[in-house]
Structure 1
Amino acid sequence: MPQISVNDLKNGLTLELENGLFQVIEFQHVKPGKGGAFVRTKIRNARTGAVIDKTFNAGIKVEQAIVDRQDMQYLYADGDDYVFMNTSTYDQLNVERTALGDAADFLVEQMIAQVAMYQGEIIGVEIPASVELEVSVTEPGLQGDRSSGGTKPATLETGKEIKVPLFVNIGDRVKVDTRTGEYMARA
């Protein structure tokens, strides 16, 4: 497994540390006026999704995990598993909900997602930053309330509930930010 210096860390890099597999979310090189330099990082556990802060002394070596990423098409949910298909080999793969994290709230059939694997184990599924979904349940907007900037709850076709502006109705397609779960625009 290749070793890299913590001075060469980048966002998105996956590291094999003594307590598991971690993905770098943020990093900052710090050179205090007194004492040695260090690298302050925020890393996400690839298996549990927990985010922790970790500080490394500058120049030390860490193991870089080689992660294989493949574009796969989401087919359907099968109990607690989600079935994906490799679009070039047509191999099907069952992914547990825990590996999906919040992405499960935005998956619709036929969507292309990037499945990250490490030594044959699925460690994550990345979906586009925004998706278009249909509103399946919401209260009707009140006439004359269109410009007040108010919001109301709406349930999307995937079952995820978000806040939408009052003018959004059942059957409308809305653009949703998958990182925050917030309404962006009407599609």
Structure 2
Amino acid sequence: MDLSLSTLLSLARFTMQNPREGARMVMRANLPMVARWVALALMAVASAILAHLAFALMPLEVRQAMAGAMASPLTSALMQGGLMLGAVFVIHWVGRWRGGAGRFEDALILMVWLQFILLILQVLQIVTQVIFPIASVLVGYASVGIFLWLLSNFVAELHGFRSVLMTFFGVLLTLLAIGFILALVLIPFLGPVA
């Protein structure tokens, strides 16, 4: 598979137009497992760099309020990598539990590919943040919608599910369940709310 930037951007555009076929093409590339892990690490680092760049462009009061969360690019990269890896396991396990046939290594490369497309949107958001700040909020909302749409298609293709709509509802329910569990786990550590 040609991994030049122009080829990857063309494939990203094609994936936006036809997500399931794009996912098939990425899985058919049959990259070695080591390359998939390296790609995951690269996406985590690139995402952290872009997040810190976007953070540096925010107004001072916003930066002061979020200073703790954005203390170090290394911490951000580790957190991003951990979230991506956690998502790979959830996509693989929940899909298999629901009767899917997806392989872990394909879930891994599809998560990397999804993150690559999200990085393109992140760059677009940073550019609009500089040129027309209000539009960057709209790009952010659009990115969330695109993320859910692509994720649903990728999960459906990975596991051989026919209905993207039913997969979408499954993705939403899974996200809600994870959010609920995390809230239960974190509430004791947050202390009383003022």
Alignment TM-score, normalising by the size of structure 1: 0.20
Structure label with greater radius of gyration: 1
Alignment TM-score, normalising by the size of structure 2: 0.20
Higher-helix-fraction structure: 2
Higher-strand-fraction structure: 1
